[in-house]
Chains A and B, each alone.
Chain A
């Protein structure tokens, strides 16, 4: 937002690009979970574009992004976040868009030293080089600390009016935002990608391990954002809805998974991912009973429906908490 504003203030025409990878935090969880109902459901990138009065193009990169997540040339950060590869990928896509639409250069909001992986003095040139953008990539917020880029050398922008922000502190950005009278802006410390989330990364790693390969589809990574995930056996896991919103969301997937719910008591919808024997289904039914209102009942009737739609009822005792090892929770 600030980088765009700095360039807009020089009279340059700016349009925004927002890439959708499937791992973006905002949107989904707000739409699904009841506890997030009070949060604004706005798309932050669109909101910023409106504040700046610029067009925004949202680009679906779900398929192409898979290779970034699965085979990051520069490795992962502290979780499964391939930040340097991700930045290079997005700038490359922006460069392709720029070329196709007759624009001259790309700007990003990067700040030297702000992020440990992708915004270091030694890695920022990597992004410029590997993306193919080279010196058509301008970082207005720290440009004065970097060699002049083509837009500066050509006089398309005035280098003197660019910034020299450096380091992890957000205070200079906040001061600049205040100077522009911008009071409402996205969370400054990032956190917009589920791959940086330790809990999410653990669930993704578990899924890859259980399947024996690092592959995924959009539905897989969406489901990792929803519900309580338990793996009581290596060959199957359960996804347990935590509220009405999640149950409704999981309901959309019920025909693709064996699913369970309590008939005799109020409780969650549970999806079973993997292969389950008769004993496994019994265990799954007991766990389903555990997470519903019948958790203290002597007997709970649980409907079990397989992928063909065939349904039956199991009468089970809810599993006791001390029968559920902590390791089952993903």
Chain B
């Protein structure tokens, strides 16, 4: 069984589309099934990261938002 790993990306303070670019660049290096937790502050990330995931076949596992941060968990799909 291939081990699944969880990774974290801190994109806080970056304005869109930089959070999605950083997520894209990191996901390209991950394996199917791995998860990436993206931390962001730009509300645009709430739209851009799920949209990017939809066109590339990755899954949004969870989206959380508090007063300061946005936390989006992505499960890497098959390319």
Contact = CB atoms under 8 A, between A and B. Distances in A.
Interface of A: 18, 20, 24, 27-28, 30-32, 40-43, 46-47, 49-50, 53-60, 222, 252
B56 A55 contact: yes
A32 B16 CA distance: 11
Contacts of B48: 41-43, 46
Contacts of B44: 27, 30-31, 41, 43
| Central interface residue in A18, A40, A53, A60, by most chain B CB within 10 Å | A60
B16 A28 contact: yes
B61 interface: no
A31 B18 contact: no
Given A20-B18, A20-B21, 8 more contacts: A24-B17, A28-B15, A43-B17, A46-B51, A50-B55, A56-B52, A58-B21, A59-B21
Contacts of A42: 47-48, 51
B52 A222 contact: no
- Chain B interface size range: 20 to 34
Contacts of A55: 55-56
Contact of B16 (A31, A40, A57, A60): A31
B21 A50 contact: no
Nearest to A37: B43
Interface in B38-79: 42-44, 46-48, 51-52, 54-56
B11 interface: no
Given A50-B54, A56-B52, A43 B20 contact: yes
B52 A60 contact: no
A30 B48 CA distance: 13
Given A43-B48, A57-B24, A252 B55 contact: no
Contact of B55 (A24, A32, A56): A56
A31 B13 CA distance: 12
Contacts of B55: 46, 49-50, 53-56
